[in-house]
Structure 1
Amino acid sequence: MGSEQLARRFLHVNLNCAALDATERVYGDVLGLTARMRTDPEVATDGSILGLDGETYCATAFLYDARGGRGGCALEAIEYHSPPLSRDPSADPVRPGIRGLQLAVADVDAAAAALRRGGLEVGDPVDGLMGGGKSVLALDPDGVVIELTALPPDADSSGGALFDGIRIAAIDAAATGEFLTDIGFEELAAPSTQSVAGAQLSPGASGENDCVVACYALAEDGRQFKLVVVQHPDTAAVPVPWGGNRQGLYRCALRVENVHDALAQVPDSVERMGDPVWCPLPGTKIEGLHIAFLRSPDGVVFEFVERPLSFFTRSGS
């Protein structure tokens, strides 16, 4: 759907982590993302916004690449203090949900070696499933797959890695694709069957299967941030449960001009998680934001965030 009232660009992708320090060492110290905004962990927020009972206390860092808040998507890393992190008991790389993220780097081999020195599991070079060309996969401390790909020749490599995309393991790629286009995504590559090796999904994995793969993007991101959907024959038909403190990559925040106008154009078939709410951001320069939550058929949470385009067209970073 081409409506300008629906989702227009990625703002951030949420990673719920066991230890914020460890996450920042990987994505910040090694890969070059920078924390440009943090929330106050001493200020409580309403847990019901994300399906949690009572008040929540957590430390959050918004990690940006060199493009900054007006030019790129942030990785929103959250360490839950109360309630505690809901650990992911499974290491199955094809379980439903957001299973990987893509970071483009100037030197794939050097970045992979640095992650290996930092204690991460790092695989051998493979054909990239998200970025194309040679890729190397690593597993972060919370089980998130990092797919390292090479920066385009004309990209500025002075600022570390560029956060370029995510991968969703889908129960039904067609149903997920319909959901995505219903909320504003453009289909870059229609669902098609292709052979996918286990090592393209997680470092050290084996085997090869026919999977359904598709690719999507939002209008204001162009092709600088892509969402790849993979339907694997072994993916269980059990959506990710609702509840914001689940370990790993959990939800995506998308810019809309007006939350209520966006929701008015979303079909009734799209699952809404409550009414639009005001979400405070304690300790940041942003008082808060109007948001609404939707769930894909796989249980992935997509968050409509009211962030007018005028914010992104002002001068400054």
Structure 2
Amino acid sequence: MSAAASTAGTPRAEHAHSVMHCNLNSADVARSEKFYGDLFNVRDRMRSLSQDTDGRFMGLSEHTASETVFMYDERGPRSAPALELVQWHDPALIARSDLDADAPSFRVIGFRMDSLTAFPGSGNVESVVVRGRSRKAIRTIDPDGVTVETVEIASADTDPGSPMLSHERLVVSDLERSVAWYSTIGFVVRPDDDDLTRSVPGVSLYLPEDPTFSFELECPPNQVEIDPIRQYARALPGRHCGRRRQGRPRRVGAGRACDARAGIRADARRADRRLHRSVPVRSRRACRRVGRPPADDRPAAPATGVMVRGTR
């Protein structure tokens, strides 16, 4: 962008350059910490205890309390995303048992290894699509009911020998609109292998400066109707919503979800205005090919915090 355009008041585009953390809400953070530490050799590098934090910017109440553990694989901070485990004390977490299999939401947190031979459950290998290619994978369930996917991907020379945080799998209601939205903050599409046939329409997104982590978007042909206001208020399993901006991430649900309703409708209307268009309140039933994500994808689908250039 030219200096003339900048001085004329044209906003400068801000693109994310790396994934910063993946937020999983937990009913028992100590239990989750042990599960991920034992299985994937991730270790806590930072802890945060909030006893009275204003949560209104996240659509929560004025007074919130939570405990957070940031866990990293052997690459460590600044070189890898954190697995951010959060236990909310106020407001309390509520279980989600009303989600259809095709409802737009976070679905999987993923790790990668050079070989699955020595990984627990290696006798139950299945095939999944990650980074545009069919790969061997083992799936397990964490203590809060979140699906954890470990895939076999060849390591680089500089990679450690232990598991590394690799991807998140998201169900969206409009694939091309979701891709268009993520592209506005810097994500690009990784082409599928020529011989890959997907059972469900999907695409892999990554950031050019950090191709080691991907969003795996999938769009089942038959979508269910979702009330976006209710979905935004109560959240969906296992994820962090929003990108790092002005030093504060936007948090919504996880394996369990915050009972958060204050300010939700106003926040959703503000989000609509940022997209410069009104958005229908029901998800689409087909994978359309153009535009930005509908309202029920916007707060719910982004499952990872991403670091925007200049904010850290």
TM-score normalised by L of structure 2: 0.70
Structure 1 match to 2:213: 225
* Structure 1: distance between partners of 2:108 and 2:189: 19
1:91 is displaced (CA, Å) by 6.1
Q: Deviations over 1:238-295 (max 9, x none)?
A: 24722487542242545799x9xxx9xx853599xxxxxxxxxxxxxxxxxxxxxx98
Residue type of the alignment partner of 1:8: H
* Structure 2: distance between partners of 1:113 and 1:54: 44
* Structure 1: distance between partners of 2:69 and 2:86: 7
Structure 2 match to 1:236: 224
Coordinate RMSD, CA, aligned: 3.5
Quick one: percent identity of the two aligned structures?
23
- Please state which structure has a larger fraction of its residues in strand: 1
* Structure 2: distance between partners of 1:137 and 1:183: 30
Counting only pairs closer than 5 Å after superposition, residues 39-118 of structure 1 correspond to structure 2 as: 39-41=48-50, 43-90=51-98, 92-113=100-121
Decide whether the 8 Å contact of 2:106 with 2:300 is kept in 1.
Answer: no
Structure 1 match to 2:6: none
Change (3 A) 1:106 1:215: closer
Decide whether the 8 Å contact of 1:171 with 1:298 is kept in 2.
Answer: no
Change (3 A) 1:112 1:155: farther
Structure 2 match to 1:300: 301
Change (3 A) 1:250 1:306: closer
* Structure 1: distance between partners of 2:310 and 2:76: 17
Q: Deviations over 1:125-161 (max 9, x none)?
A: 1112225321111121222221111241435564521
1:234 is displaced (CA, Å) by 3.9
Decide whether the 8 Å contact of 1:84 with 1:245 is kept in 2.
Answer: no
Structure 2 match to 1:251: 241
1:146 partnered with 2:134: no
* Structure 1: distance between partners of 2:154 and 2:33: 25
* Structure 1: distance between partners of 2:86 and 2:148: 17
Structure 2 match to 1:216: 205
Q: Deviations over 1:89-132 (max 9, x none)?
A: 14644331111121012442433339xxxxxxxx9311122253
2:169 to 167, 172, 178: 167
Residue type of the alignment partner of 1:34: R
* Structure 2: distance between partners of 1:163 and 1:135: 14
* Structure 2: distance between partners of 1:172 and 1:91: 18
Aligned residues: 256
* Structure 1: distance between partners of 2:26 and 2:197: 32
2:16 to 7, 31, 38: 7
Unaligned runs of 5+ in 2: 1-11, 250-270, 280-294
Structure 2 match to 1:315: none
Q: Deviations over 1:8-57 (max 9, x none)?
A: 2110111111111121122112211111111024x321111211122111
| DSSP 3-state at the match of 1:228 | strand
* Structure 2: distance between partners of 1:30 and 1:304: 25
Residue type of the alignment partner of 1:36: R
| DSSP 3-state at the match of 2:37 | helix
